[in-house]
Amino acid sequence: MKTTRSGVSEKANACESRRYAVAKSHRERVGLVLVAVALMAFVLASAGTAWVRITNFAVLFVLLSLGLNIVVGFAGLLDLGYIAFYAVGAYVYALLASPHFGLHLPFWIILPIGAAVACLAGIVLGAPTLRLRGDYLAIVTLGFGEIVRIFMNNLSSPVNLTNGPKGINRIDPFQIGPLKFSASDTFGSLIFSGPIKYYYFLLLVLLAVIVINRRLQDSRIGRAWVAIREDEIAAKAGGINTRNIKLLAFAMGASFGGIAGGMFAAIQGFVSPESFILNESIMVLAMVVLGGMGNIWGVIAGAALLSFVPELLRYTVEPAQRALFGKLLVDPEVLRMLVFGLALVLTMRFRPAGLWPETRHRRELNEGRV
């Protein structure tokens, strides 16, 4: 008996040591990634401020993709009008922090207001569509996104709320006390330009959104979303209030879109209805599908790829043509989109579950092939 107990104790200690080693290695990798991401702004700035701005917009698309992933990836509700919540958040910030109405509220007050208004818009969209699924839900959400854009385009008379197609300009940048995000500051030997300040602020917001997504995914609500995605009738039979849970998915996803929209308005300094067209919704959905629906890290990877690859092609297509042929044969924008579209088609052909799919989804696809 003593020998048996000793053997069990040794195995337990060995398992505990392995778990500790794995956890330590994971913490070290996370630390290295965080350090690399923190230093990336200055590396990009050495290549030009434009790349820092591109990275900032990439982070905004990551935030949008994480919000849409709650609706599409977790709950299985196809939403083609998600960009409408982005527009709502942007216009809320623009109206409350610009000379348009003479209001100049601080951003830490406006961003929660924008999230709340977008959340309410998500409930307004979700309530009448509770019985719709699949293609029908996609059509309704697409219509909702277009309705919001058309409203923004026409609410300039008789009361000028949105300034119509002209948009709203001179939007206030972020400011924390004397620190203005629109100006450059020097700390020691480091120069923090406006885009670099926004970069670090966006990273903090992104980390918070990732933590919230992780907690939601592992919570009872997250499991209820997965149950609805897999079989809504079975979920309802199991005692899940599918109505409230689906509304919560729309509301949570919309609130992330509203926050991203507010930050977009502050960074850009200008908003107009043309920034929130259907193509933007399709792009965000493509990011979620390409990365892997339901997998937070896959969605982040998909959003980063679809944000950076087109810009890399923009800067390389024209020089490559001139180096190979001595002249410009095909317009860079056309060729860029052709290469981009071909890459998406090939990815969906050979990786239908996405580049980094959720374990459950990957297992289902493998079982289907067998």
Chunked in runs of 10, what are the mean pLDDT values of the chain (370 residues)?
58 67 63 73 76 92 95 90 94 94 93 95 88 86 92 89 92 89 79 87 94 91 90 89 92 95 95 92 90 90 88 81 81 76 82 79 59
Residue with tokens 């502050």: 266
Per-residue pLDDT at 354? 82
User: In the prediction, which pLDDT does 119 show?
Assistant: 95
Residue 104's SS3 state is strand
Q: What's the confidence (pLDDT) of residue 1?
A: 46
The helix (H) or strand (E) run that includes residue 190 is: strand 190-192
Predicted pLDDT of residue 63: 95
Is 63 contained in some domain? yes
Q: Of how many residues is the chain composed?
A: 370
| Structural domain contains residue 205 | yes
Q: What is the pLDDT of residue 9?
A: 67
| C-alpha angle 180-202-172 in degrees, rounded to nearest 5 | 35
DSSP 171: P
Structure tokens, 243? 């109505």
- Does residue 351 belong to any structural domain of this protein? no
Query: What's the pLDDT score for residue 263?
Result: 96
Q: Are 228 and 242 in contact (CB under 8 A)?
A: yes
Beta partners for residue 208, in sequence order: none
Tokens of 247: 């509304």
What is the torsional sign of CA 155, 157, 159, 163?
positive
105 in any annotated domain: yes
Instruction: Give the chain's count of helices (H) and strands (E).
Output: 13, 8
Task: Kindly give, in sequence order, each residue whose CB lies less than 8 Å from that of residue 174, ignoring residues fewer than 6 positions away.
Answer: 107, 180, 181, 197, 198, 201, 266
Residue 314 CA to its chain's centroid (Å): 22
Provide the β-strand partners of residue 187. Answer: 190
Q: Is residue 107 part of a domain?
A: yes
Cα gap 146→156, rounded to integer Å: 17
Examine residue 239 and state whether it is found in any structural domain, yes or no: yes
Number of domains in the chain: 1
C-alpha pair distances (Å), 39 with each of 25, 31, 208, 365: 21, 12, 19, 39
Q: 201 lies in which domain range? A: 49-286
Q: Label residue 294 left, alpha or beta by phi (over 0 means left) and psi (-120 to 50 means alpha).
A: left
| Residue 364 belongs to some domain of the structure | no
> Rounded to an integer, what distance in angstroms lies between the CA atom of residue 259 and that of residue 137?
24
296 located within any domain: no
